Amino acid sequence: MTLTQTSTNSGSQELAITEKLLYINRVTKVVKGGKRLRFSALVVAGDNQSRVGIGIGKASEVPEAIRKGGVQAKKNMVTVVRKGTTIHHDAIANFGASKVLLKPATAGTGVIASDTVRAVLELAGIRDILSKSLGSPNRTNVVKATIRALTSLRDPAKEVSRRRGIPETKTEKQDA
């Protein structure tokens, strides 16, 4: 299920945020009078440029859980450092018992990933990447590990100039 919303910034620039529902979990709690049903929804939101976020919404109705998850995903958006349609370097991240490995790929490779990791990467605007999901297949933990891996990415040119304490433009000219 894909929902698209367009929200306008303070200028004439428009930012289209796409939400994708990954998983709905039905939770049953046994109480004295019987069973109480609730739902949790795992939602990913992104602008297909370089921003992506995840949210978990919980409610007694499915549509309300999805809405809450979308609101939380938009609040928790992070910016991803990209190199064209791929990433600069390998990244490995853990969350709980889940582990995600991301590797850059050449143009035209596509997104080689599980459905959970694929949703996050595509909404972040990454089109060419290799990935491997290791450990627990728990969708929530895999998505959180993917976000951790994406936030650990650095732009090598900016990182070198920051460490050397010189402006970025000089570093790029020396490397060329």
pLDDT in tens, 6-17: 554 544 345 799
| Residue 93 phi, psi (nearest 5) | -145, 150
Q: At what angle do helices 156-164 and 168-175 cross, to 10 degrees?
A: 110
Q: Which two three-digit tokens encode residue 70? A: 């979308």
The answer to whether 30 and 24 have CB atoms below 8 angstroms apart is no
The answer to whether 131 and 175 have CB atoms below 8 angstroms apart is no
Interval 121-168: pLDDT, tens: 999 999 999 999 999 999 999 999 999 999 999 988 888 888 888 876
* Residue 95: Cβ within 10 Å count: 20
Q: How confident is the model at residue 170 (pLDDT cuts 50, 70, 90)?
A: low
Interval 59-90: pLDDT, tens: 999 999 999 999 999 999 999 999 999 999 99
Q: Which of 82, 73, 83 is nearest to 50 (CA)?
A: 82
Q: Which of 100, 91, 174 is nearest to 137 (CA)?
A: 100
Interval 92-107: pLDDT, tens: 999 999 999 999 999 9
